[in-house]
Structures are given as structure tokens and as C-alpha cells.
Amino acid sequence: MTRPAPSYSDLSQEQLAILLPELLLSGQLIDRSGMAHLISAFGREVMGQVAIEEWMAASPVYTHRMRTTMGIDGDGVEDMFKCLQLDIGAPPQFMDFRYEITDKYHGAFVLNHCGALMDVEPMGDEYVTTMCHDIEDPTFDATAIATNRRARIRPIHRPPRLPADRHPHCAWTVTIEPDREELPLPPDAEEMFTRRAASVELSSVDEESTDGWIDYRGPLVDDLQFREWSHSLLVRTAEEVALQHQLLALGFLVSLRRVASGTEQVSEIYRKQLTGIAGLSADRLRAALGVGRDAEGLATVLALHPCFGPTQYTGVSVAVDGDQVRLRIPRHSDAMTDGGWVTLLTDEHFEPLQAAATAVDPHWAVADAVMVDDALEVTFGMGEQARKESGEVAVARFSSGATFEFSDRGRSIPITPVTSGV
């Protein structure tokens, strides 16, 4: 008997509250997978340029979507900070942003812990400067202009750290001035707004729900506690975060095509990026949700995996069939039209799927991959021989995010403006 794997909507509020930080962290770790292969092929400077272009292409688009989902309709720093809290560029705790509001148009933040810095510091000051100066300056502004095109994010201090143990890791001011020139939308973001990922419809939020937050119209809070959110808002947010993965990958692809020697090299690096993050995310998702290593567990991980969803965009479906798992990828979907990750999955190249399966249990293997009714159907079966983790996953695993543990920080507490006198 064939049974469909659970979707986000099939999970409980408790499960979704555990899953959402994992999805945000997974998005951050995409670059730990992709950038290593860029450095190998082109060097540090090209890697930096691709990182700038991918984030500037994707972040204005997905920030616009998240503002709409959350009912964040203001144009001040508080509204901007809310968006940052739901951005794969700033997953909670791993990128431990601490926010301060002076007034509607002035604020600041520090990073008490920057997981990205912890990953890059051992590589030396040149790589730290590339990340914390060259990449951050334009990409922070690209994110900010989704809230207000007169916003500017500027450093107070940032790495390389002097002294070496300086804390917080960095500090930034955020200002919005009415007489300041508006920043333009980056050209790649303009093009990204025309992609189907920018307008795909996801699950609706039940505005009549009484089981928790239905939007983020209230005050900015420290440490979002997702267990306080309604079930329908958690489902929609999980889908949006999965879509953030897809948009960032598309931004990576747009930039990669400018520097690669041809389509073969583009496909090779794009596939390596997906393979690394597919395996690493599958490993963390299985552990976070506490699912088994059997067919039910594999199907659950694949169905909830952000690299293969959201299903409204990719069309990917997963089912358990006895002791096997079947995954179906339609050849016609919004993701296929956009040229997203799913285009890499064929009957000859299923390395990302194998990487995800291996992360659930080394004995899982792709037993078959065939075209059926204009869709690729991939069958997973348990084998006797354990497979080794792929090199692409091992490369991504160098990040401290691979073993990062989230902690319970209590309830959501509103951030009081420093000028309030309270």
C-alpha cells in the first residue's frame, strides 16, 4: 500500500516550531556548500562577487514575500528587523542578532555570535574581509531596501577582529533619512521578480485562527518563539523559507553563468552546491524531528526537505511503498520553468537525492530512476552495503552549523525603544 509522506501542514505546531529554525539554518548553509566549489574553480575574489550577486538578486524578492505574509507593512527599522529575523541570511542563534530601536527611522544591531565568522576566521583575514566588508556592504543594503530604499546599514566595527577575541563580533547602525537618495533595485533582483518563484501562491494563513500568532504586526520581539505561532502561519512560513532556498539558488545560478567557462561547468558546480546542502540538511532534519531511519523516516525527510520544495513550486511528491520510498519530480513545474535545482535531477544525475538518503541511513540507495508519464520517478531501497558520505556533503560539513544546537530562550519579549524612558 502506498502512503503519501507528511507535508508541512501535516505536522503539529510543536513539530513545526522545531523545524522552522532548522529550515532557516539550512538556507544559511547553502553558501557553505556552494562557495567552496567556487573557490576551487575561480578563487576568492570571484567567489565574493558571486556571493554578492546571488544575495542581491534573491533577498529583495523573498523579503518582499515575507513582508506580505507577515503583514509587515511599515517602512521603519522595526519592520526591517522583523524581516531579518525571518531571513535565511540570519538564522536565529547561529547568527545571533541583537536589535536596538532608537526611533522609527534609527536603530542598531550587534551580532553576539556570528556562525559565518566562526566558519571563515580559520581561513585568514583576507577571507574575513571578503565576507564582512566586500559582501556585507552591498547585500545588507539590498535587504534593507525591501523595507525602505532610503535605508542604510553601516558598520560601527566589524571583523577582522582586533583584538582577536573582540565581542560582540560586529556592530552596525541603521538609519533612514527622508532627504537621502533612494537606492535602486539591483538589476538581478528586477529580473528575479519576473520569475515564477516571486509570485507562486503558497498555503494561506487562517486569519480567524486562535491557536497563536497569525502575523507579525505586533511589536518587534527578541528571540522569536515559533511555538507561539498559529499552525497555519507556521506552515506558510516554512514554505516561504523553502522558497528562499530556491531563490538564493537561482541567484547563484545567474551569477555563476557569468563566470563559468560553459554550460557543463555551470551544471557541475550548481549540482555540487545542491548535493552538499541536500545531504547536510537531511542529516539535521532527521535528527531534529526524531524520525527513524526506515522508509517512513526517509520519506518524511525528503518531503519536508527545503531543497525539494515547497511542493507548490517544485511539484515534488514523496510516498512510502512497502519498504521502498518513491519520489516523483514532474518535468513541468514553476521550478522547472525557472531553471531551479530540480532541473539537475535526472535519470543520470541523482547525486543530491542520494546524498539526502545517505544522511538518513547509509544503506539507502537510489534503486531506480525512470521517466513515467512526463515525470521522473525515483525509487529508494535499502541495500546491504553502507554508502560513504559524498565529498560535497563533507565539504559543507566543515561549517559549525553542521553540529549547531538551538537552545530554548523562553518567551518572546518586546524590544522597547531606547528613547522611551522605560
Q: Does the structure show a pLDDT above 80 at 421?
A: no
Task: Give kind and range of the element (H or E) at residue 367.
Answer: strand 364-371
Give the confidence band of 224 by pLDDT, cuts at 50, 70, 90. Answer: very high
Give the confidence band of 417 by pLDDT, cuts at 50, 70, 90. Answer: confident
What percent of the chain is predicted at pLDDT more than 70? 99
C-alpha 327/C-alpha 115 separation (Å) is: 33
The predicted-structure confidence for 340-382, as pLDDT tens digits, reads as follows 999 999 999 999 999 999 999 999 999 999 999 999 999 999 9
Q: What mean pLDDT is reported for the chain?
A: 96
The predicted-structure confidence for 182-222, as pLDDT tens digits, reads as follows 999 999 999 999 999 999 999 999 999 999 999 999 999 99
Strand-pairing partners, residue 263, are none
What is the pTM assigned to this prediction?
A: 0.97
The predicted-structure confidence for 73-123, as pLDDT tens digits, reads as follows 999 999 999 999 999 999 999 999 999 999 999 999 999 999 999 999 999
Grid coordinates representing 392? 560535497
| Nearest residue to 34 (alpha-carbon basis) of 272, 241, 244 | 272
Provide the sign of the torsion angle of the four alpha carbons 181, 85, 194, 56, taken in this order: positive
Q: Does the structure show a pLDDT above 80 at 420?
A: no
Q: What is the pLDDT of residue 416?
A: 85
Strand-pairing partners, residue 221, are 414
Q: What is the pLDDT of residue 422?
A: 40
Grid coordinates representing 62? 523573498
Give the confidence band of 419 by pLDDT, cuts at 50, 70, 90. Answer: low
Q: CA 360, 342, 199: angle at the middle one, nearest 5?
A: 115
Give the confidence band of 329 by pLDDT, cuts at 50, 70, 90. Answer: very high
How large is the average pLDDT for residues 238-244? Answer: 98
Q: What is the pLDDT of residue 418?
A: 79
How large is the average pLDDT for residues 309-334? Answer: 98
Q: Does the structure show a pLDDT above 90 at 1?
A: no
What percent of the chain is predicted at pLDDT more than 90? 97
**What is the residue extent of each domain of the chain?**
15-201+215-239
Residue 403, class by beta-carbon neighbours within 10 Å (0-12 exposed, 13-18 middle, 19+ buried)?
A: exposed
